[in-house]
With several copies, the nearest count.
Chain A
Amino acid sequence: MSTLDVAAIRADFPILKRTVRNDRRLVYLDSGATSQKPYQVLDAERDFYENHNAAVHRGAHLLAEEATDAFEHARANIASFIGANADDLVFTKNATEAINLVSYAFLNATLKSAHKKALPPGSERFILKVGDEILVTEMEHHANLVPWQELCDKTGAVLRWIGLTDEGRLDLSDETLFNERTRIVALTHQSNLLGTVNDIPAIVKSARAVDALILLDSCQSVPHMSVDVSTLGVDFLTWSGHKMLGPLGIGCLWGRADLLAAMPPFITGGSMIEVVSMAGTTFAAPPKRFEAGVPMAAQAVGLSAAVDYLRVLGMDKVAAHEHEMTKATIAGLQSIPGVRIIGPEDLVDRGSAVSFVIEGLHPHDVGQVLDESGVAVRVGQHCAKPVCTRYGIAAATRATYYIYNDLDDVEALIEGVHAAKKFFGV
């Protein structure tokens, strides 16, 4: 088919060599939950442990120097992948922590200000008053919804949200959602359930008009398309390494330098301090201020190798490749009676997450039949229960694609759906 040499790519992924139930080849359509890892990433991580392992930023001996170097080079490389400076990239354990880091910056600034404690210059942007508004959307992953609910519960701020159209797009008709009380707009770049790619320039325009900050949850965009913070116009970008060929246990927060500098810390402890006494502590500059404790250096090195892998493929080609599979999936599903796609059926501004329900069949049962034939999909609420509620479903079956998938995999999915219908007689 397409722009990527899938056979060559597959050869880099050891797990794709294994068989699953009934000795079937693994058709992995769950990269939206987590991607598989190529040798290059696993080898980079292992090389770190076998040759350079030490606690970074905490020693003067040779290993500590090498480890620190490897860690900071990884930071710079990953930052450059999204068009950012190394100093503006913070490592977290996953995207969820990255989003919480920003929500807790609001909480901590608000509380410290109330208790008249020292705050960095510029922190006023993070101090909330009762009645201030946080704006999210109805299509958020729980990771970009619950932290903001919690923030509101603890500060008296009010959560508001942009609803969804029947087609699975943001309903931007209510302009009053953006108003002078709006402090931050937190939304996803691509919905992990609907596949919708949101119109970020429009959101940026509305948010800027009321001087609100913008956090973009890029879990489903950075791995799948070219993302460049130098042109996007948002203030924060959050995503996870494990969905983009990287190791588990590492996520990223990019923030505008002036904003990171204005934020109080979240998790506190070693390596994020300047001077500590029993009576009080001053804090280091970003990104260190937000990286308390011994960090996941090996995982950073692994993620850096993942970024290199994707860079060689080219993110535009990755997106084009996924687009082909998305198109075939939607067409295939549309041809099956009783199947309803949840999310946009047109292919414009749409990623490769395709969710659907089958009349008279529960997704769990669909998933089971697919699994029996080697096709691994995700079933359930996809950490996006409000989306399920919005579209009147209890759960959905979801296929997500990545660089190691091809049209044969799409076909396996479609066949599996037929098989499930047959098995249950619907």
Chain B
Amino acid sequence: MKLENMYQEIILDHYKRPHGKGLNEEFQAEVHHVNPTCGDEITLRVSGNEDGTISVSYDNQGCSISQASASIMFDQINNLNFEHGEGAVEHLVAMLQRAEDPNEDVLGDGIALVGVAQYPARVKCALLPWMAWKDAAIQAGMKKEK
């Protein structure tokens, strides 16, 4: 069974005991992203910290992959600045859609999502929280024009 490649122990752990789930009262931008075919949903809020980093909070429902991915995203991106956060998102996309080798420094437990790449229909589940973060951060004006 290849199933264990996707559902690694570490993914199931995040799924069962998600990190950072629950919305902060205060926020600068809130987005609601959905995956209309399967019903995954996430509400995500961002607010800027004084040091230029971004704090994130979320609430969601969905499959194990999207929930674990949200938990991992929280670990990796919370309190990063936009540039670093965006780098992590890009890196996840590269790993899932272009089979690039993952970098544990950037993705943390996210490297365990590598097995998802074999199931194109699930890639969207894994990306959902990360894309929501990027959208929210841009809406909050945290992307600096160059």
Direct A–B contact in complex, judged by CB atoms less than 8 Å apart = yes
Question: Which residues of B23-65 have CB atoms within 8 Å of chain A's CB atoms?
Answer: 34, 36-41, 61-65
**Can you name the residue of chain B whose Cβ is closest to the Cβ of A372?**
B3
Q: How far is the CA of A65 from the CA of B116 in the complex (A)?
A: 13
- Cross-chain contact A394 with B2 (CB below 8 angstroms): no
Whether B138 is near chain A, meaning CB under 8 Å from some CB there, is: no
Whether B99 is near chain A, meaning CB under 8 Å from some CB there, is: no
Q: How far is the CA of A333 from the CA of B34 in the complex (A)?
A: 29
- Cross-chain contact B2 with A22 (CB below 8 angstroms): yes
Q: How far is the CB of A183 from chain B (nearest CB, A)?
A: 30
Whether A38 is near chain B, meaning CB under 8 Å from some CB there, is: no
Tell which of B3, B7, B67, B121 has the most Cβ of chain A within 10 Å.
Answer: B121
User: Are A363 and B3 CB-contacts (below 8 A) given A368-B119, A394-B62?
Assistant: no
Q: How far is the CB of B95 from chain A (nearest CB, A)?
A: 18
A385 to chain B: which residues have CB within 8 Å?
Answer: 36, 39
> Of A60, A379, A381, A424, which one neighbours B119 at CB under 8 angstroms?
A60
- Cross-chain contact A381 with B37 (CB below 8 angstroms): yes
Q: How far is the CA of A255 from the CA of B65 in the complex (A)?
A: 35
Chain A contact residue count (CB 8 A cutoff): 30
**Can you name the residue of chain B whose Cβ is closest to the Cβ of A380?**
B38
Whether B122 is near chain A, meaning CB under 8 Å from some CB there, is: yes
B142 to chain A: which residues have CB within 8 Å?
Answer: none
B3 to chain A: which residues have CB within 8 Å?
Answer: 368-369, 372, 423
Main secondary structure of the interface of B (DSSP, over half): mixed
- Cross-chain contact A69 with B122 (CB below 8 angstroms): no
Question: Which residues of A359-391 have CB atoms within 8 Å of chain B's CB atoms?
Answer: 362-365, 368-369, 372, 379-381, 385, 388
Whether A58 is near chain B, meaning CB under 8 Å from some CB there, is: yes
- Cross-chain contact B7 with A274 (CB below 8 angstroms): no
B65 to chain A: which residues have CB within 8 Å?
Answer: 364-365
A381 to chain B: which residues have CB within 8 Å?
Answer: 36-39
- Cross-chain contact B39 with A423 (CB below 8 angstroms): no
B7 to chain A: which residues have CB within 8 Å?
Answer: 365, 423
Whether A21 is near chain B, meaning CB under 8 Å from some CB there, is: yes
- Cross-chain contact B39 with A388 (CB below 8 angstroms): yes
**Can you name the residue of chain B whose Cβ is closest to the Cβ of A61?**
B121
- Cross-chain contact B63 with A275 (CB below 8 angstroms): no
Tell which of B1, B36, B40 has the most Cβ of chain A within 10 Å.
Answer: B36
Whether B111 is near chain A, meaning CB under 8 Å from some CB there, is: no
A274 to chain B: which residues have CB within 8 Å?
Answer: 34, 36
Whether B127 is near chain A, meaning CB under 8 Å from some CB there, is: no
- Cross-chain contact B121 with A68 (CB below 8 angstroms): yes
- Cross-chain contact A394 with B39 (CB below 8 angstroms): yes
Interface string of A383-426 (1 = CB under 8 A from B): 00100100000110000000000000000000000000001100
> Of A60, A68, A69, A424, which one neighbours B38 at CB under 8 angstroms?
A60
Q: How far is the CA of A273 from the CA of B35 in the complex (A)?
A: 10
Tell which of B6, B37, B64, B122 has the most Cβ of chain A within 10 Å.
Answer: B37
- Cross-chain contact B2 with A65 (CB below 8 angstroms): no
Q: How far is the CA of A293 from the CA of B125 in the complex (A)?
A: 22
Whether A284 is near chain B, meaning CB under 8 Å from some CB there, is: yes
Whether A64 is near chain B, meaning CB under 8 Å from some CB there, is: yes
- Cross-chain contact A275 with B122 (CB below 8 angstroms): no
- Cross-chain contact B38 with A379 (CB below 8 angstroms): yes
Q: How far is the CB of A344 from chain B (nearest CB, A)?
A: 22
**Can you name the residue of chain A whose Cβ is closest to the Cβ of B32?**
A275
> Of B1, B34, B38, which one neighbours A364 at CB under 8 angstroms?
B38
Q: How far is the CB of B123 from chain A (nearest CB, A)?
A: 10
Give me 13 other A-B pairs in contact (C-beta within 8 A), A65-B119, A68-B120 excluded.
A65-B120, A69-B120, A284-B36, A362-B64, A363-B38, A365-B63, A365-B65, A368-B122, A380-B37, A381-B36, A381-B39, A395-B39, A424-B12
A-B contact pairs, 14 of them (CB 8 A): A58-B37, A59-B121, A60-B122, A275-B36, A362-B62, A362-B67, A364-B40, A364-B62, A364-B125, A372-B3, A380-B37, A381-B36, A385-B39, A394-B61
Report, nearest first, the 8 A-B pairs whose CB atoms are least far apart: A364-B63, A395-B39, A362-B63, A380-B38, A394-B39, A60-B121, A380-B37, A372-B3
